[in-house]
Amino acid sequence: MGLTGLVWTNFCLALWAQNTLVEVLETPQALSAHQQEELYRQLQKQAEYWERQAAIVKTVVKLVRPTVVHIEAEPGIPSLPQRPGTQRVEEAGSGVIVQIQGKFYVLTNRHVIKGSGIGGIKISLADGRRIFPTRLWDDPESDVAVLAVDAPGLTPARLGKSKEVEIGDFVLAVGSPFGLSHSVTFGIISAKGRRDLELGHAEVVFQDFLQTDAAINPGNSGGPLINLRGEVIGINTAIASNSGGNEGIGFAIPIDMFMFVANQLIEKGKVDRAFLGVHLDSRFGPAMAAEVGLPRPIGARISGITPQSPAAGAGLQVGDIILQFDGQLVEDAGHLINLVATTPVGKKVPLVLFRDRKTLSLEVTLADRAQFLPKQ
C-alpha cells in the first residue's frame, strides 16, 4: 500500500471512530406514540420468527419432563422405609424412566443411591407421587444403577443413539440441581470421549464421557441429557468445578454405554465384560509414533500380552499398535479399553494393526474377563 492509500485508510478509520463516538454519546430522542407503535409491530414480526425456531425446545421439554424423577437416597437402610422420628443424611439426584421389554425402570447413577437399599430410596414423580423401587442393580465400574419400579401411569423416555452424537449438537439437561426438581438447561455437546477424569468416586474405571456446557449442578446426577428429537443420549453424572457449582463443564455417560451395562444387570444381575489380553503402553506419544513411522500418535501400543489370552492366540505381539477395533478407529489406550469392555463376550472382532511400518488385519475372539481375574 502506498503512502496516499495509507493516509486515506487512516482518515477513513478516524472518521468512522468519530462518527461512532458521536452515535454512542448522542442523547436518545423520545419516540412519538406512532414511532413506538411501529417499532413494536416490527419487533413482533421479528420475535415470531425466533419463537417458531425456539418452539422445538418447548416441545422437547413437554415430552421429557414427565419421564424425569427426583431421587432421595438414605444410606444404611437395606429394605425398610425410614421410621417416623428418625433422621438420616440423604443423597439427592435425578433419574429417568424407561421401558424395557414391557417393564418400567429408572436409570440413574450408582453414586446417587450408593449404600442404600430399596427401602431407603424414594422416587418422586413429575405428578407429585412418591414411589419406592421394587429392586435395584448397580455397577461400580461404570457408575450405572437401575431401579425397577411398578406404578400406574408411568411415562417412559425414548432412547437415542449416542454414537450418532456430534460435537456442536444442541442438548438439554433435565434434573434436580440443589433439589429444584425438573429444572431444564440448554447447551451443546462440547466434546466426546473424555476419559481419565477424577470424579471423586474412584471405582469408575470405564469412562467415555460426553462433555456439555448445559448447566449441570449437584442434584443433576442421574438425569437425562436430551437431543432435539426428545431422545435420551446420555445420563448426566459429573461436573468439573472449583466451586462445587456449574462452570460450563459437565459430563454424561453415553446412553449406548449405559444401556450395555443396564441391560446385562436386568437380564443377568451382573455385567460380563470382554477380555482381549493386552497391556498398553501409557508412554506412547508423538515421539514414539514418529519413531515407528506413524504421522501422529493414534491407536494403542501393546507393551505386554497375557499368556493364553485371546491376544496371544491371535498372534498379537509386543510393539504392535492397534489402529482399529471392530471397525472403529482407536484414539488411544483408554478408548481401546472402553471398546473392549462394551463388546459382547465371545464376539469375533476384526483388528487392524501397525507392525514394522505396515498395516495388517486379523481377527480375535474375545474371552470373559472374569476368567482372567485373580482368584479371591
The C-alpha cell that represents 17 in the structure block: 471512530
CA–CA gap between residue 69 and residue 97 (Å, rounded)? 7
φ, ψ (nearest 5 deg) of residue 81: -60, 160
The per-residue pLDDT for 247 is 65
Question: How does strand 231-239 pair with strand 158-159?
Answer: parallel
**Digits of tens for pLDDT over the chain (376 positions)?**
554 455 455 545 554 455 544 444 455 678 888 989 999 999 998 988 888 888 899 999 999 999 999 999 987 655 433 333 333 334 689 999 999 999 999 999 999 998 888 889 999 999 999 999 999 999 999 999 999 999 999 999 999 999 999 999 999 999 887 777 788 999 999 999 888 777 665 577 888 899 999 988 888 889 999 999 999 999 998 766 655 655 678 899 999 999 999 999 999 999 999 999 999 998 999 999 999 999 899 999 999 999 999 999 999 999 999 999 999 999 999 999 999 999 999 999 999 999 999 999 999 999 999 888 776 5
Give the bridge partners for 178, in sequence order. none
Which residues are designated catalytic? 111, 143, 221
Domains located in the chain, CATH noted: 66-80+90-149 (2.40.10.10), 158-268 (2.40.10.10), 274-372 (2.30.42.10)
Contacts of 230 (CB under 8 A, 6+ apart): 59, 60, 63, 64, 158
The per-residue pLDDT for 373 is 79
CA–CA gap between residue 123 and residue 151 (Å, rounded)? 11
The per-residue pLDDT for 253 is 94
Q: What is the pTM of this model?
A: 0.80
The per-residue pLDDT for 255 is 97
Whether the CB-CB separation of 281 and 299 falls below 8 Å is answered with: no
CA–CA gap between residue 116 and residue 283 (Å, rounded)? 40
The C-alpha cell that represents 136 in the structure block: 435395584
